[in-house]
């Protein structure tokens, strides 16, 4: 009998940060588990933490990307903020998921990194997401994607980004932004790659193969491997 080959080691590492100092999502455990599953399938190792001390210049060098997953409030002190800023400027990737735009209101640079700030949302309901650009985060998604989530309105629309998915406000109640309501976008930013998706409030999101494929493509893009 020929022994099975050992599994290949992960090609790179991703830091998943879930600290909350505001609203805390019940979905965080499901989201972290989904991230580990995504990493196992996509060839990267996930380190999940709520410890801001991880944002140290030396420790961050081991990661290709940082994911702010359902964070909220003021989660980093000035020293940790500086470490994240330097990480991005040295080519590190950043992915923000859902309430990542409800985070670090007192730090203007972070607002530019994500692209916008949370304003308010109506109740959880089904809406149609329209895929509007070919991107690793949208490949395999239906052009019209009905899904149930908590749909954010923003204080302002993101500028200087490429939108990959938007909301059809005719399919739900409570949208502010009319025909231009982005829910996922990316851009090159100060040396690194950034991606933000407004989706991901519900626990069910992290059991959805399509949403997990969306996250996998976003992380691989931000990490610079595709």
* pLDDT tens per residue, range 159-203: 999 999 999 999 999 999 999 999 999 999 999 999 999 999 999
Does residue 67 sit in helix, strand or coil? Answer: strand
Q: How far apart are CA 37 and CA 200, in angstroms?
A: 16
Q: Is the dihedral of CA 105, 107, 111, 113 positive or negative?
A: negative
Q: How far apart are CA 101 and CA 118, in angstroms?
A: 6
Question: Tens digits of per-residue pLDDT, 98-142?
Answer: 999 999 999 999 999 999 999 999 999 999 999 999 999 999 999
Full-prediction pTM beyond 0.75? yes
How crowded is residue 67: how many other Cβ atoms within 10 Å of its Cβ?
A: 28
Question: Tens digits of per-residue pLDDT, 43-65?
Answer: 999 999 999 999 999 999 999 99
Which residue segments constitute the domains of the chain, with CATH numbers given?
12-222 (3.40.50.880)
DSSP assigned state of 99: G
Average pLDDT for residues 13-38, to the nearest whole number?
99
Please list the residues that pair with 195 across neighbouring strands: 95, 186
pLDDT at 10: 81
CA distances 222 to 96, 173, 187, 193, Å, are 10, 32, 9, 5
């Amino acid at each position: 009998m020929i022994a099975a080959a050992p599994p290949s080691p992960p090609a790179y590492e991703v830091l998943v940060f879930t600290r909350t100092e505001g609203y805390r999502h019940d979905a965080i455990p499901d989201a972290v588990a989904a991230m580990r599953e995504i990493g196992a399938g996509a060839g990267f190792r996930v380190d999940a933490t709520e410890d801001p001390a991880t944002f140290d210049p030396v420790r961050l060098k081991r990661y290709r990307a940082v994911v702010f997953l359902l964070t909220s409030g003021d989660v980093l002190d000035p020293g940790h903020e500086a470490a994240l800023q330097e990480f991005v400027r040295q080519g590190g990737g950043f992915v923000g998921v859902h309430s990542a735009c409800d985070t670090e209101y007192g730090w203007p640079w972070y607002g530019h990194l994500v692209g916008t700030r949370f304003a308010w949302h109506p109740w959880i309901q089904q809406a149609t997401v329209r895929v509007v650009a070919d991107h690793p985060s949208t490949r395999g998604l239906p052009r019209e994607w009905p899904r149930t989530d908590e749909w954010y309105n923003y204080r302002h629309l993101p500028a200087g980004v490429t939108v990959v998915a938007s909301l059809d406000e005719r399919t739900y109640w409570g949208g502010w932004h009319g025909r231009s309501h982005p829910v996922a976008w990316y851009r090159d930013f100060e040396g690194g790659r950034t991606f933000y998706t407004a989706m991901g409030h519900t626990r069910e999101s992290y059991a959805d193969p399509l949403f997990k494929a969306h996250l996998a493509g976003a992380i691989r893009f931000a990490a610079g491997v595709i």
